[in-house]
């Protein structure tokens, strides 16, 4: 494979995104998409294991998180816009189709990219969050609505920023989801301290627009036609089994569903070796 220059940033939609580009420069590229409320540093335990297998990783700080990519207004954070960011990164890399892995909101973006821009991808690994259409169906149930109470709270103006900027309140909320003390401290530095909280919440506030199709191109209801592995943990307090199991109906390609027992929502932080092993089974085929 041709050796490629390192990519530290790229531009799209009038925004500038920071990228952590690591691993063998001539390795097959894997794009890693973080979720809420984390940044590209969340892949610190997973990426080196992919490098050891000869893969190159590109982990952007996404829309709302990169200091040069924090637009105002919820319409700027719809999944269609985010898919455009991912496509711009892949096209800027210029290495052909890539492997794609995402966690949490990064998984939603990865599912949507695979559904709407399959020509950009060699394979998909989605972690924790199910296919958007499966999630929408699960949200019609009492169990998933109960788990997703915070999504409604995040629609409110300024109050979520106020609450999640307070260390004690944020620590209780994030700790209840399974984050340990070190992860909560990183959230304080990288999200609150760096001014990324409002942009991070923008992804949630754009949900009603995405559901109505107002942000366009998200691939919300489309089926995925690239080889896919979906990884879910049964200790996830935010995401129940129904959405996880329904995701299979939205993939018309080789599909694997991996359940990690006893783990919380934060699979990449909690079990990087297990996640990397599952991902490599897909990426090295």
Query: Which pLDDT band, with edges at 50, 70 and 90, does 221 fall under?
Result: low
Please name which of 117, 125, 122 lies closest in space to residue 98, comparing C-alpha atoms.
Answer: 122
Predicted pLDDT at 222 = 86
Which pTM was predicted?
0.96
Query: Which pLDDT band, with edges at 50, 70 and 90, does 210 fall under?
Result: confident
Measured distance CA(122)–CA(268) in Å, rounded = 21
Residue 214 has pLDDT above 70, yes or no: no
**Residues 237-271: pLDDT tens digits?**
999 999 999 999 999 999 999 999 999 999 999 99
Structure-model confidence comparison of residues 4 and 145, the more confident one: 145
Predicted pLDDT at 209 = 87
Q: Say whether the peptide bond before residue 37 is cis (omega within 30 degrees of 0).
A: yes
Predicted pLDDT at 79 = 94
Predicted pLDDT at 4 = 61
**Residues 8-37: pLDDT tens digits?**
999 999 999 999 999 999 999 999 999 999
Query: Which pLDDT band, with edges at 50, 70 and 90, does 213 fall under?
Result: low
Q: Kindly give, in sequence order, each residue whose CB lies less than 8 Å from that of residue 133, ignoring residues fewer than 6 positions away.
A: 220, 221, 250
If you ran DSSP here, which 8-state letter would residue 239 be given? Answer: S
Query: Which pLDDT band, with edges at 50, 70 and 90, does 217 fall under?
Result: very low
HSE-CB of 139 using CA atoms within 13 angstroms: 15
**Residues 69-119: pLDDT tens digits?**
999 999 999 999 999 999 999 999 998 899 999 999 999 999 999 999 999
Q: Kindly give, in sequence order, each residue whose CB lies less than 8 Å from that of residue 274, ignoring residues fewer than 6 positions away.
A: 260, 267
| Four-CA torsion 64, 270, 232, 216, nearest 10 degrees | 10
Residue 15, H or E segment: strand 15-22
Predicted pLDDT at 3 = 55
Candidate CATH numbers 3.90.1300.10, 3.40.50.2300, 3.40.50.1820, 3.40.50.150; the one for domain 9-283: 3.40.50.1820
Residue 6 has pLDDT above 50, yes or no: yes
If you ran DSSP here, which 8-state letter would residue 211 be given? Answer: H
Which class for 274: exposed (0-12), middle (13-18), buried (19 or more C-beta within 10 A)?
Answer: middle
Where are the domains positioned within the chain? 9-283
Residue 1 has pLDDT above 50, yes or no: no
HSE-CB of 146 using CA atoms within 13 angstroms: 6
Predicted pLDDT at 5 = 75
């Amino acid at each position: 494979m041709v050796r490629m220059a390192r990519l530290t940033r790229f531009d799209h939609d009038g925004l500038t995104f920071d990228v952590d580009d690591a691993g063998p420069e001539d390795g097959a590229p894997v794009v890693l998409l973080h979720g809420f409320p984390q940044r590209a540093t969340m892949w610190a335990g997973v990426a080196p294991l992919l490098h050891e297998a000869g893969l190159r990783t590109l982990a952007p700080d996404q829309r709302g998180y990169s200091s040069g990519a924090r637009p105002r207004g919820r319409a700027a954070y719809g999944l269609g816009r985010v898919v455009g960011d991912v496509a711009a990164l892949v096209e800027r890399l210029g290495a052909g189709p890539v492997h794609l892995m995402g966690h949490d909101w990064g998984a939603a973006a990865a599912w949507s990219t695979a559904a709407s821009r399959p020509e950009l991808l060699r394979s998909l690994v989605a972690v924790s969050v199910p296919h958007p259409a499966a999630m929408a169906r699960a949200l019609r149930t009492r169990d998933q609505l109960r788990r997703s109470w915070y999504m409604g709270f995040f629609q409110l103006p300024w109050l979520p920023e106020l609450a999640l900027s307070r260390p004690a309140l944020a620590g209780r909320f994030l700790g209840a989801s399974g984050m340990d003390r070190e992860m909560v401290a990183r959230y304080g530095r990288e999200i609150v301290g760096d001014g990324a909280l409002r942009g991070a919440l923008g992804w949630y506030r754009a949900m009603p627009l995405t559901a109505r199709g107002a942000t366009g191109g998200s691939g919300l209801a489309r089926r995925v036609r690239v080889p896919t592995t979906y990884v879910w943990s049964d200790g996830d307090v935010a995401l129940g089994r129904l959405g996880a199991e329904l995701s299979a109906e939205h993939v018309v390609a080789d599909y694997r569903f991996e359940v990690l027992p006893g783990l919380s929502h934060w699979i990449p932080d909690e079990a990087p070796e297990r996640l990397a092993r599952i991902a490599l089974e897909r990426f090295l085929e």
